[in-house]
A and B are shown apart, each in its own frame.
Chain A
Amino acid sequence: MSCSPFDLKDYFFEELDGAQRKQVEAHVTACGACREELNRLRLTGTTLLSLREEEIPRRIAFVSDPVFEPSPWRRWLAGFWNTPARLGFGSAALLSAALVVFALARPAAIQPVRLVQVPAVKTAQPVPAISEAAIQARIDQAADRAVAARTRQLDAEVAAARQERQKLLMVAAELEVDSRRQHALYMSAAGYGPPRQPAGEAK
């Protein structure tokens, strides 16, 4: 509580006239508390004047203002995502993506089968009647041809077998001769001695 005859704030903001200012100055000189109060006001004023001058924001918002509230879509999405339905939604989204991919990359459409109208086959001419004797004669001829072909085939096989047999006999004879030759060589080597003077042709 100030004991000054006028308010010190008015003095500080220079809202007093000259006479009132002189009275306040005289009191401040005599009163320590008022003098200290005036010094604090002056310090505050000096501090305020040292701050950078900034423009006052046009609008001051508070967290509680509706401006900071999420949109209804966000609120719905947040509410939805925090529910167990998100798994089902994910599956449905994946399925939808698969359907879209399949629809874009599906194979070419199968050409429908064209049915071709086949002309009706003409029925064969009626077979003329054949007598039993003619049928038997044809059967005999076919049998004779088959027997003759089989006979020729068998003859060829027999001839081939005989030829192979001759070859085998020849090979067997040659093997026999080779065996005898080797045996003779072995026996000669076993009893080899100084050569004799042959009495035949030139050596």
Chain B
Amino acid sequence: MRPILVILLALAPLSAQVARPVSATLQTGAARVSLTSLATLARGFDRDLRMFAVNDPIDLLGNTRGIYLEGFGAVFTTELSPILTPNVGPFRPNMSDQDRAKVRQRKLARIPAVERLMDSMLQSAAKDLAIPDDQQIVVAVNFVYLPYEDTTGLPGQMVVKATRRAILSGAQIEATVSNQ
């Protein structure tokens, strides 16, 4: 009886150990998706967006955030403006209709490039993340506009989504666009 009591007392501190956070490392079958790998991918996406064109850059208005949803897959979201939107100021207190139309045209012309970047992000995530092939990888971009802008035809959100298997196989991936 006494040795059993001693053993139980020796094992008692084990119950006081801090449990490992669930979000730090996720066990999904054979896949382990760490926050570090998600953050590394997110930073890479930010760099891709920011360095897309130096002279006419994409206006990144929020850092990319990545999260793994168990049983579903990895989701990346970010906010941006396709171009640096001109602001009103002391030297331009009002935006003329011509300026609005010009801004709108520039943004419409940039949307396909953003779509290609999102596809590239999808490919990178599919290669780097060790998730099951049947799980999804989603990249969602929210577009931010100023109140004076004419957003006719401009997307409010673009989402590209596919299974890891489809992405790696090079299948055509359609983007889902929700209007502003």
Give the interface of A toward B (CB within 8 A).
Answer: 166-167, 169-171, 173-174, 177, 180-181, 183-185, 187-188, 191, 193, 195-196, 198-203
Asked if B147 is at the interface of the complex by the 8 Å CB criterion, the answer is yes
| CB neighbors of A among B28-63 (8 A) | 39, 43-44, 46-48, 50-54, 59-63
Q: Which residue of B lies closest to A197 (CB)?
A: B48
Asked if B4 is at the interface of the complex by the 8 Å CB criterion, the answer is no
Given A174-B87, A177-B144, A188-B50, A200 contacting B60 (CB threshold 8 A): no
Q: How far is the CB of B14 from chain A (nearest CB, A)?
A: 36
Q: How far is the CB of A89 from chain B (nearest CB, A)?
A: 84
Interface size on B, residues (CB 8 A): 33
Q: How far is the CB of B106 from chain A (nearest CB, A)?
A: 14
**Residues on A with beta carbons closer than 8 Å to the beta carbon of B85:** 177
* A184 vs B79: C-alpha distance when bound (angstroms): 10
CB of A196 within 8 A of CB of B113, answer: no
* A199 vs B48: C-alpha distance when bound (angstroms): 8
Give the interface of B toward A (CB within 8 A).
Answer: 39, 43-44, 46-48, 50-54, 59-63, 79, 81, 85, 87-88, 93, 113, 116-117, 119-120, 123-124, 144, 146-148
**Residues on B with beta carbons closer than 8 Å to the beta carbon of A167:** 88, 93
List 17 interface pairs A-B (beta carbons < 8 Å), by A numbering.
Answer: A170-B146, A171-B88, A173-B147, A180-B79, A181-B60, A184-B61, A184-B62, A184-B63, A191-B43, A193-B47, A195-B51, A196-B124, A199-B116, A200-B48, A202-B53, A203-B53, A203-B54
* A201 vs B48: C-alpha distance when bound (angstroms): 11
**Residues on B with beta carbons closer than 8 Å to the beta carbon of A188:** 43, 46-47, 50, 60, 63
**Residues on B with beta carbons closer than 8 Å to the beta carbon of A198:** 47-48, 51-52, 117, 120
Interface of A, secondary structure class, is helix
* A177 vs B59: C-alpha distance when bound (angstroms): 10
CB of B63 within 8 A of CB of A187, answer: yes
Known: A167-B93, A180-B144, A195-B47. 19 other contacts (CB 8 A): A170-B147, A180-B79, A181-B60, A184-B46, A184-B63, A185-B60, A188-B46, A188-B47, A188-B60, A193-B47, A198-B120, A199-B48, A199-B116, A199-B120, A200-B52, A200-B116, A200-B117, A201-B53, A201-B116
* A201 vs B119: C-alpha distance when bound (angstroms): 13
Q: How far is the CB of A176 from chain B (nearest CB, A)?
A: 9
* A182 vs B87: C-alpha distance when bound (angstroms): 15
CB of A174 within 8 A of CB of B48, answer: no
**Residues on A with beta carbons closer than 8 Å to the beta carbon of B79:** 180
* A185 vs B57: C-alpha distance when bound (angstroms): 13
The one of A169, A173, A203 that contacts B52, using a Cβ cutoff of 8 Å: A203
Q: How far is the CB of A82 from chain B (nearest CB, A)?
A: 92
* A167 vs B92: C-alpha distance when bound (angstroms): 12
